[in-house]
Structure 1
Amino acid sequence: MPPTPDDDAAPPDAAAARADAYAAAPLLNCLLREVAHPLPESGARRVFRLPDGRLLRVRGTRRPAGPELHTAGRWHRLGHNDLVKLVAEELAHHTGLSNAELPAEMTDSRDAVAALLAARARATAPEDPYLRSEQALVTGHPHHPAPKTRGGGPPGTWLPYAPEAHARFPLVLLGVREDLVVEEGDTSALDALAPAPPGYRLLPAHPWQLELTAHQLAPAFADGRLVRLGTTGFDTWPTAAIRTVYAPSRDLFLKFSLDVRITNDVRRLWRHDLEKLRRTDAAVAGALAAGPAAWLADRGYRTARFAFEELAVLVRDGLREHLLPGAMPLLAAGLVEGFEGNPLDGARDPASWWEAYLAQVVPPALTAFAGHGVVLEAHLQNTLVAVDADGMPVQALYRDAEGVKLLPETDRAAGWERLVYCLLVNHLVEVAGALTERHPALDPWPAVRRELTRHGVPEATALLTQPTVPAKTNLLLRWTGADGAAARYRPLANPLAGG
């Protein structure tokens, strides 16, 4: 469910209050998880001690709201700008480091939320529940300090391509001189998009990426290495990943580079990831071959030698060949955020629904790890859950070979830590929280314990008695300027322990 503004603290402008509430929730989640210390609960608000000794209190748990700081003997309400200032002060005190970039991203993320909310109010949501689930993420990553930042550009530059604004658009079609094409794997779906002139190969491009790289690519257009061939005769829909689009008419996903920092990274298709793509993809496909879970394979990529990362496009399987008959795929992150048609809203037997959900998403991840040495990045944005006509989960589909780790290239303990974070902390904790908000009497964790012990994986059994689980520290990672791929974790109380 989306966060709600604090009625007592809301600014006069209701739209601004709503944007503040959406943006404050993940920022508070980061601050409270990563550097604050909870005090014994008393009353309706939770109180935390900050690194410099000050006290902060908030309403709510899963999506905290209404932050107030205790100064001069009383509680003072914090607007979003005040919250950003407070976070920066506390991080400087905690780490001894300064950072001017991240506070600007926090503010940009809040302003992006405001633009998205205004655009959504004018837009028409797609009829397809799957697309609605992909385009639902106005909050975005619930534990990132700036989940909606779009590189600081004005909304007019990125709103036409924003999934949260229910965007849809055709792709730009380019011709790349044949002798300059680099590709690997099955890219035949690209050639089927449109004919290319003699001596050229077809290369679709994301229109926003072309705008971002216009200066760099201008010489290639001028000397004929690149030619423009118009646009696709059909629209594509940006998914939650923003740079990955879905073409329903072709049942095809295409993933592009996008030279914009979104959450922790500049979202390029990096050469080192592309060059190991085929091996990684084959390993995951083998790990999930027994079904019923499915892998949306990254079939291959095509690019231009002179702009290898900038113009790269990755071809990913569509949905229809993998889905069970009659099943409707939905993005797991959309279930948490909420959208029209969300099966969580209509679950008449939440315990049975939750057990069915776990039976689909947990076994494939454990089997891939223990039986094949494959660490799925099974977080909310990489997991689709297909439901039947009654909204019951019947199948899981996973995607994105770029985030997959393989053993023994990754140490087994590090791989398990990554899996626990992605599957349990990032994924199951969030879905359980969304479900129990609707059904407060449900205790979700006995069912998780049963599912984890059913498969004979030693690490999964040991997980039940560990006092803590790893939680990624996105706020500290960004503040200290660490590489986005260099995951750092802090211990979080294990919801499975003590059951």
Structure 2
Amino acid sequence: MDRVHLNPPPAADVAERADAHSVAPLLNCLLREAAAPHGGSRDADGRAPDDGRRVYRLRGSGRLLRVLGERRPAEPEMYVSDAWQRIGHAELVKLVADELRRHTGLSNHELPAEIIDSRNALAALLTARARATAPDDLYLRSEQSLLTGHPFHPAPKARGGGPVATWLPYAPEAHARFPLTLLGLREDTVVEEGDTSALDALGEAPPGYRLLPAHPWQLDLVGRELADAFADGRLVRLGTTGFDTWPTAAIRTLYAPERDLFVKFSLDVRITNDIRRLWRHDLLKLRRTDTATAAALAAIDGPAAWLGDRGYRTADFAFEELAVLVRDGLRGRVLPGATPLLAAGLVEGFEGSPLPGAQDPAAWWEAYLAQVVPPALAAFADHGVVLEAHLQNTLVAVGTDGMPVQALFRDAEGVKLLPDVSRAAGWERLVYCLVVNHLVEIAGALAAHHPTLNPWPAVRRELARHDLPEIPALLSSPTLPGKTNLLLRWTGADGADARYLPLPNPLAG
């Protein structure tokens, strides 16, 4: 459990750490999407640097940039007037904006502000986290561990630019926990589909009303729009739940351990690429997608499980704003005696993570692959289900010895079905989510703790066991698809409109 600090950390320390945490993903995006290696790892004058720095040429301007490290680059320096000059986070933001203007021919004033908001939010999270206590429950600790967050997004911690006080009480990174707000929704305005009975057990609604829980932050965001509904009685306030819920890594998805219930809400805030609403078009296809995915996972030989999205409830006059989705809990789905952990938390690191102390990292990695890879491939090959098997949608349960024994997948909103998308598009998405976003990151984190481990032969062996026509090309292709989050945000593309560029394929080495 994290130590409780009675005094906040020095402001200078917080600023330095916030800059360092924010520089790494921004550099990852810039170097992936708008730069190319310059002479391998050689310096501007052709000499190989002796400190592990790598040199890149920026595509927009042709300028040279060098960084320390590869997986989480740090200490950026620009080559100016025949010398390397260190640049901080603020200068890097200006550099990124200038490079993208040159590279795309487009201007964007919103994204630089979003990147700065992400850095400032991180500073607030660092301060709050120093005063907080991590949950005793290892699963919850893994969900609330993502201080840096998405390693390839320019603004992974942006919170919509609002004042810190409006969002910090609901931040998983600050180990928040809070009750749900309970509303009564007049029965003639209720819209629901699927099994929402768990919502009725959260409290008691007056006659003529149904219970509708709300995320307190979302209620603050859309409160003015609901004034008429409160005034005419379509909505009534019923207080709060008598128990706390814990925000998970997804922020708007909360877990109630006492009820073993996940609830997912709309949140009218841009987090990474999207405004996080439960969109009408996604809700209307929820039952079809969830049913197909549940059937696919149930048919697979092995312990893999699907945390189903059972149903949703909302108001006809605020369909997206007040929507709440009911998701399966963990009990009865996680193997007896096993502890589920968020895959993204394994990459970020948290007290109690099995990665640092793995006695046999090669065996640990083989066990991890054996749980995660087969169900994702079988769902695609045998059932036409494209799981969004990235780090935040995958839980890996470990036994008492820390070895992976089960994978659990979640979030029907991100699942694609064939033939709604073509097989080629579905395969590309699966490769990005499962291999690039997920396995590459877990492999990197494991190798950082155990430097003698080469993780890629085991990945090749695991993939080669599966009889999919796409596998030989995957294992021989020089490139893998990498999502372009920086360019997506800069060009104002729809966050769901994934665009990819080729990345070096470690499987082909």
TM range (shorter): over 0.9
Deviation at residue 12 of structure 1 after TM alignment: 9.2
Among 341, 359, 383, the alignment partner of 1:330 is: 341
Q: Provide the residue aligned with 1:15 in structure 2.
A: 14
Contact 1:190/1:204, CA 8 A, preserved across alignment: yes
What code does the residue aligned with 2:490 have?
A: W
Aligned position for 2:54: 46
Give how far 1:183 is off.
0.2
Shift of 1:461: 2.6
Letter of the structure 1 residue corresponding to residue 100 of structure 2: L
Say if 2:282 is the partner of 1:273: yes
CA distance in 2 between counterparts of 1:190 and 1:480 reads 40
Which position in structure 1 is the counterpart of 2:409? 398
Paired with 2:323 and 2:363, the residues of 1 have a C-alpha distance of 44
Q: Displacement, 1:72?
A: 1.1
Q: Residue type matched to 2:16 in 1?
A: A
Which of 181, 184, 205 aligns to 1:172? It is 181
Equivalent residue runs for 1:312-323 within 5 Å: 312-323=323-334
Shift of 1:259: 0.2
Q: Distance in 2 between matches of 1:154 and 1:118?
A: 15
Paired residue secondary structure (1:288): helix
Q: Given the alignment of the two structures, is residue 67 of structure 1 paired with residue 66 of structure 2, yes or no?
A: no
Residues in 1 aligned to 2:27 and 2:278: alpha-carbon distance in whole angstroms: 31
Structure 1 position 14, deviation (Å): 2.0
Per the TM alignment, residue 460 of structure 1 is displaced from its structure 2 partner at its CA by 1.9
Matched, 1:108 2:117: yes
Matches within 5 A, 1:82-93: 82-93=91-102
Instruction: Please state how far the C-alpha of 1:462 moved relative to its aligned partner.
Output: 2.1
Q: 1:430 aligns with which of 441, 451, 457?
A: 441
| Paired position in structure 1 for 2:291 | 282
Counterpart residue identity of residue 435, structure 1: L
Shift of 1:195: 1.2
SS at match of 1:395: strand
Distance of 2:203 and 2:117 partners within structure 1: 38
Q: Does 1:418 align with 2:429?
A: yes
Amino acid in structure 1 at the alignment position of 2:19: D
In the other structure, the counterpart of 2:35 is 36
- Residue identity in the other structure for 1:387: V
Question: Could you tell me which amino acid in structure 2 is paired with residue 18 of structure 1?
Answer: R
1:474 to 458, 469, 485: 485
Paired residue secondary structure (1:478): helix
Q: What are the Cα deviations for residues 276-308 of structure 1, in whole angstroms up to 9, with x where unaligned?
A: 000000110011003410000000000000000
Structure 2 stretches lacking a partner, 5+ long:
1-9, 42-47
One-letter amino acid of the counterpart of residue 18, structure 2? A
Aligned-partner Cα distance in 2 for 1:155–1:394: 40
Task: Give the alignment's TM-score, normalised by structure 1.
Answer: 0.97
Q: Does 1:343 align with 2:342?
A: no
| 2:158 paired residue among 149, 153, 157 | 149
The Cα shift of 1:26 comes to 0.4
Structure 1 segments (4+ residues) deviating >3 Å: none
Aligned residue for 1:253?
262
Checking the alignment, whether the CA contact within 8 Å between 1:269 and 1:309 is kept in structure 2 is yes
Shift of 1:457: 1.2
Alignment: residue pair count: 488
Identical columns (%): 78
Matches within 5 A, 1:199-278: 199-278=208-287
* RMSD between aligned residues: 0.9
Distance in 2 of aligned mates of 1:217 and 1:72: 59
Structure 1 unmatched runs, 5+: 1-10
Query: How far apart, CA to CA, are the structure 2 residues paired with 1:80 and 1:442?
Result: 33
Residue by residue over 1:213-252, the C-alpha shift from the partner in whole angstroms, topping out at 9 and shown as x without a partner, is 0110111001100000010000000000000000000000
Answer whether contact 1:452 1:461 (CA < 8 A) is retained: no
Counterpart selection for 2:317 from 289, 306, 310: 306
Question: What is the match of residue 99 of structure 1?
Answer: 108
Q: Pick the aligned partner of 1:365 from 376, 380, 402.
A: 376
For residues 190 and 54 of structure 1, what CA distance do their matches in structure 2 show? 57
After TM superposition, give the deviation of residue 60 of structure 1 in Å. 1.0
**Alignment TM-score, normalising by the size of structure 2:** 0.95
> Does the 8 Å contact 1:421/1:469 carry over to 2?
yes
Rounded to whole Å, the distance in 1 between the matches of 2:334 and 2:345 is 18
* 1:401, distance to aligned residue in structure 2 (A): 0.1
Q: CA deviation at 1:480?
A: 0.4
Please say if 1:377 is aligned against 2:388: yes
SS in 2 for 1:37: strand
Question: What SS does the corresponding residue of 2:56 show, helix, strand or coil?
Answer: strand
Structure 1 residue aligned with 2:25: 26
Aligned mates of 1:15, 1:177 — CA distance in 2:
48
Is it true that 1:492 corresponds to 2:503 in the alignment? yes
Aligned to 1:386: 397
